[in-house]
Amino acid sequence: MTPGTIRNPVLPGFHPDPSILRVGDDYYLATSTFEWYPGVRIHHSRDLVHWRPVGGALADTRLLDLTGVPDSGGVWAPCLSYVGGLFHLVYTDVKSYGGFWDTPNSVVTASSVEGPWSDPVPLHAQGFDPSLFHDVDGRSWLVSNRTDWRPGRPWANGIIIQEYDRNARQLVGEPVTVYTGTPAGMTEGPHLYRRDGWYYLVTAEGGTDWFHQVTVARSRDILGPYETDPGTPLVTSVHRPDLALQKAGHGSLVETPAGEWYLAHLAGRPLTPRGRCVLGRETALQRVTWTDDGWPRVEGGVPHDVVSGPDLPAHPWPSAPETDDFTAASLGPDWSTLRRPFSASWASTGGGRLRVHGGRSPGAQSGESMVARRVQHHRATFEATVLFEPRHFQQMAGLTAYYNSRNWYFLRVGFDERQGVVVDVLSSDRGRVTMHRPAVPVDGPVRLRFDLEEDVLRASCGSTEWGPFDATILSDEYAREHDSAWGFTGAFFGLWVQDLTGGGLPADFTAATYKPQL
């Protein structure tokens, strides 16, 4: 058997904060989804080389209510674990961040990773990035960071641990601070592991940007004290702006049946050194070895684009079709919806079309009608046919290249009192909306298209083109540079319908195609 080759990122596009888990011969990666449904995106592999999307775990408001969450709020850094025949999924639903923090944590369980998932059990809200560790003695522990709103103090000032009673489904005792991190600061993203009598605490430090890193500490006692690895960090890109994979940090470990270890971590691929990452924070895998005195090591302490895979049989999955013809009765796993779950109250699919009823404006942060998919390649096209019959200037439908409520492009079918039904482009840059001409009169179904070429975005309808536009406004870096806000997601291509009259006028979409230009 020849081990396969892992080519990073294994989950391209917006897939941050990976929690990796092995159950038997199956490997799972759970990643953050923020304001997008379904909450917590899960991928599946048999060889760590080939991955397929399973879909999202938190698919309805019983499990997750994202109404009104801010941009980059919602689900942060979930953790997937398995014990006693049940998958346990813990997650934070961030309602506010920065200054004061509202970070309620919950846990759900299921016998299958595809669900159905149990009703959420509320945990504490003292911090975010929760994970569950199940010890060999049968006890389980909840680990998270702790936030601090007090002026002049670090907002992430320690890792706390508290026992979780799985039978009673409740926390036991009081949380204990077990680690305060290194001078890199902003200690978060904790995961616990046990190996050769040691408890290993894997954390993220330095902030999820250019100074990000994975830090490891260990203790003989689960409650500490924990000694920081003298060779820390385990992986970082901080001193190597030349590397393709930047922002390396926030990691979790997995062991194969043969004793091979791998680290899943987030990374970003800027278009220029320390430039903007339009695709967002992605997931990569690194091979891990252990020193004679029991510390984990990634070769060179830096992320690698190409990594040797484990000694496992190759297990590729069928390729996903480039075009969704919407013949299925439910959305495929590559689609997401913004702040509200896909439901018959506003959308339906089947019979060769996706029907979406017009929703609220981008600024509403609830009731938006958008079905979108992650942009996963620096060069790609996205197109779909749209049938929409607006009768009012407040009704519009079409394709979007979307980052958040303040930064997007909208290639839309709209209404003009003088020209009737037209196609043009709207853009929002830091919340400032611009109309881009010409406005082209149309009648009946129209084929709309976006072309992304690294930092340039173009829009077209037939022979009419708009652009070039700056694609880098669809990035975390742009949001932080220009809005004094945090951004943690990535670019989406989507199908968007707005009816600001409140009438819910529907649009029909057919043959939605995402095609990478390799």
* The 3-state secondary structure of 300-366, one letter per residue: HHCCCCEEECCCCCCCCCCCCCCEECCCCCCCCCCEEEECCCCCCCCEEEECCEEEEECECCHHHCC
Write the secondary structure of 384-440 as one string of H (helix), E (strand) and C (coil).
EEEECCCCCCCEEEEEEEEEECCEEEEEEEEEECCCEEEEEEEEEECCEEEEEEEEE
Residues 214, 327 within the same domain: no
| Global pTM value | 0.97
User: Tens digits of per-residue pLDDT, 296-324?
Assistant: 999 999 999 999 999 999 999 999 999 99
Residues 332-362 pLDDT 10s: 999 999 999 999 999 999 999 999 999 999 9
Of the residues 308, 340, 368, the one at which a domain ends: 308
- Check residue 485 and give its pLDDT: 67
Query: What are the DSSP E strand ranges found in 10-155?
Result: 19-23, 26-31, 36-37, 39-45, 52-58, 74-83, 86-94, 105-110, 121-122, 131-134, 140-147
Residue 316 lies in a domain: no
**Residue 269 CA neighbour count, 13 Å, CB half:** 22
Q: How far apart are CA 345 and CA 368, in angstroms?
A: 12
Q: Are residues 355 and 402 in the same domain?
A: yes
Residue for token pair 């070039």 = 468
Instruction: Given the residues 17, 71, 229, 508, select the one marked as catalytic.
Output: 17
Look at residue 275 and tell me whether its pLDDT is greater than 60.
Answer: yes
Asked if residue 318 belongs to a domain, the reply is no
If asked whether residues 164 and 216 sit together in one domain, one would say yes
* Burial of 306 from C-beta contacts in 10 A (0-12 / 13-18 / 19+): exposed
**Burial (CB count <10 Å: 0-12, 13-18, 19+), residue 327:** exposed
Q: Is the pLDDT of residue 432 over 90?
A: yes
Picking from 308, 339, 367, the residue at the C-terminal end of a domain is: 308
pLDDT digits (tens, 9 = 90+) for 191-215: 999 999 999 999 999 999 999 999 9
Q: In what order do the strands lie in the sheet with 246-255?
A: 246-255, 261-268, 281-290, 296-297
Neighbours of 307 (CB within 10 A): 23
Cα torsion 424, 497, 381, 208 to 10°: value is 110
Through-space distance between the first and last CA atoms of the chain, rounded to whole angstroms:
30
Q: Could you tell me where the beta strands, DSSP code E, fall in 209-257?
A: 213-219, 227-228, 235-236, 246-255
The reply to whether 178 and 54 lie within a common domain is: yes
Domain that holds residue 47: 5-308
Place of tokens 């995961």: 191
User: Helix or strand or coil: residue 44?
Assistant: strand
Q: How many domains does the chain have?
A: 2
pLDDT digits (tens, 9 = 90+) for 14-55: 999 999 999 999 999 999 999 999 999 999 999 999 999 999
Annotated active-site residue 102? The verdict is: no
Q: Which of 516, 277, 271 is nearest to 380 (CA)?
A: 516
Q: Tell whether 362 and 214 lie within a shared domain.
A: no
Domain termination site, one of 308, 339, 361:
308
d(CA 47, CA 63): 31
Domain shared by 142 and 91, yes or no: yes
Asked about 188 being catalytic, the answer comes back as yes
Q: What average pLDDT does the segment 410-426 reach?
A: 98
Q: Could you say which of 129, 188, 260, 383 is catalytic?
A: 188
Share of the chain above pLDDT 70, in %: 99
pLDDT tens digits, one per residue of 281-298:
999 999 999 999 999 999
